[in-house]
Amino acid sequence: MTSCPGPSADGAVAVEIEDVTAPARFQHLPDALAALWRSLRELPLGADQSDAFEYFLTRREAADRVREFLVRDGSLTLTLRMDGRLHSVRIHPAEGDRAHPGRRRTPCGDRPTGPPPRTARTTPPRRGRAAAHRPSSHPRQGE
């Protein structure tokens, strides 16, 4: 994590498993991760997937790690394979808790997700050479 004073990801979050659970809202991220892990344990996942989700969602620093994703990227999406297809497992700020919808939250402030806005030029562009060549008043080495 960076030391710059950026926005916090401490707030209500929503978690969902595509085509399995509806989005569920939690006031605290650790509670959301615990509930997500309880739901995932009930699914017919292979041992490798189950171990990976357990590691990602239940280790001591899990909430801090997920919070980093939320601050940097605005949400976290993981995938699981079940019944022959991929399902998204999504963690994101709960609706109504985003300070600036459509903006990506970063450790050093809110930044637009798209390209920077175009600004109007206040002076017309120069034609021809950008700058005239001026000889240096400093003598060259060896002269």
How much is the pLDDT for 120? 40
Please work out, in degrees rounded to the nearest 5, the angle formed at the alpha carbon of residue 64 by the alpha carbons of 42 and 111: 110
How many structural domains comprise the chain?
1
CA neighbor of 87 nearest in space, from 16, 23, 18: 18
Is residue 141 assigned to a domain?
A: no
Is residue 81 assigned to a domain?
A: yes
Is residue 129 assigned to a domain?
A: no
CA distances from 63 to 60, 70, 132 (A): 8, 10, 58
Is residue 45 assigned to a domain?
A: yes
Cβ count within 10 A of residue 43? 16
Which tens digits make up the pLDDT trace of 23-50?
999 999 999 999 999 999 999 999 999 9
Pick 122 or 142 by higher pLDDT: 142
CA neighbor of 71 nearest in space, from 13, 16, 32, 31: 13
Is residue 143 assigned to a domain?
A: no
Q: Based on the number of CB atoms within 10 Å of its own CB, is 42 exposed (0-12), middle (13-18) or buried (19 or more)?
A: exposed
How much is the pLDDT for 11? 86
Distance from C-alpha of 121 to C-alpha of 110, rounded to nearest angstrom: 25
Is residue 123 assigned to a domain?
A: no
Domain of residue 33 covers 16-99
Pick 80 or 136 by higher pLDDT: 80
Which tens digits make up the pLDDT trace of 98-128?
443 333 444 444 443 444 334 343 344 445 5
Is residue 115 assigned to a domain?
A: no
Is residue 76 assigned to a domain?
A: yes
